[in-house]
Amino acid sequence: MSTASPRRFKGKSRDKYLELVQVFPLISLRSDSELKAAQDVMGQIFAKGTLSPDEEMYLDALSDLIAAYEDKHHPIEPPTDAAMLRHLMEAKGVSQIELHTKTGIAKSTISEILAGKKPFSRKIIRTLSEYFHVEPGLLAANI
């Protein structure tokens, strides 16, 4: 019984992909030194500029291996509610007063959130997600 692959390698494309695999095999990363080596390979390929389809496929697989290792060994904590609100305000270019005026959130509440004294409530998450046009889940990481 054979299974058909949606992406078949033929000719030069196959040869280039296999050449990349020989330089740096696509296997699970087990150490920070292997992570660094994988990141270096990725950087070298990206530095070439325009990539061929086989280079893109190789990079897709390599980036999945890097992400899996980083998720397990170097997880990134979600930003605080204060950092998230500060970032959204800076990205949209709004002040605390403008945010208060356009959302109806009390000035004191905005100040307390930015000072790290108050977390987002569900109501604030709903209001901010609508105002900043982001998914509520983005703001609910710390609930």
pLDDT tens digits for range 16-38: 888 999 999 999 999 999 999 99
Domain boundary among 53, 73, 93: 73
Q: Which tens digits make up the pLDDT trace of 46-84? A: 998 898 888 899 999 999 999 999 999 999 888 999 999
For the domain that residue 85 is a member of, what is the CATH number? 1.10.260.40
Is 16 in the same domain as 69? Answer: yes
Distances (CA, A) of 42 to 52, 54, 63: 14, 14, 8
Q: Are residues 87 and 40 in the same domain?
A: no
Residue 13: CA atoms inside 13 Å, Cβ hemisphere, count?
10
Sequence-ordered strand ranges (E) for 28-137: none
89 versus 140: the higher-pLDDT residue is 89
In a domain, 3, yes or no: no
Predicted local confidence at residue 11, as pLDDT: 59
Same domain for 99 and 60, yes or no, is no
Q: Structural domain tally of the chain?
A: 2
52 and 22 in a common domain: yes
Q: Which of 86, 106, 104 is nearest to 95 (CA)?
A: 86
Tokens 């980036």 belong to 63
Range of the domain at 122: 81-139
Residue ending a domain, choose from 73, 101, 116 = 73
CA 136, CA 130: separation in Å to the nearest integer? 8
Q: At what angle do helices 11-23 and 53-73 cross, to 10 degrees?
A: 30
In a shared domain, residues 44 and 95:
no
User: What's the pLDDT at 63?
Assistant: 96
| Residue 112 CB-half CA count within 13 A | 11
Residue 4 has pLDDT above 60, yes or no: no
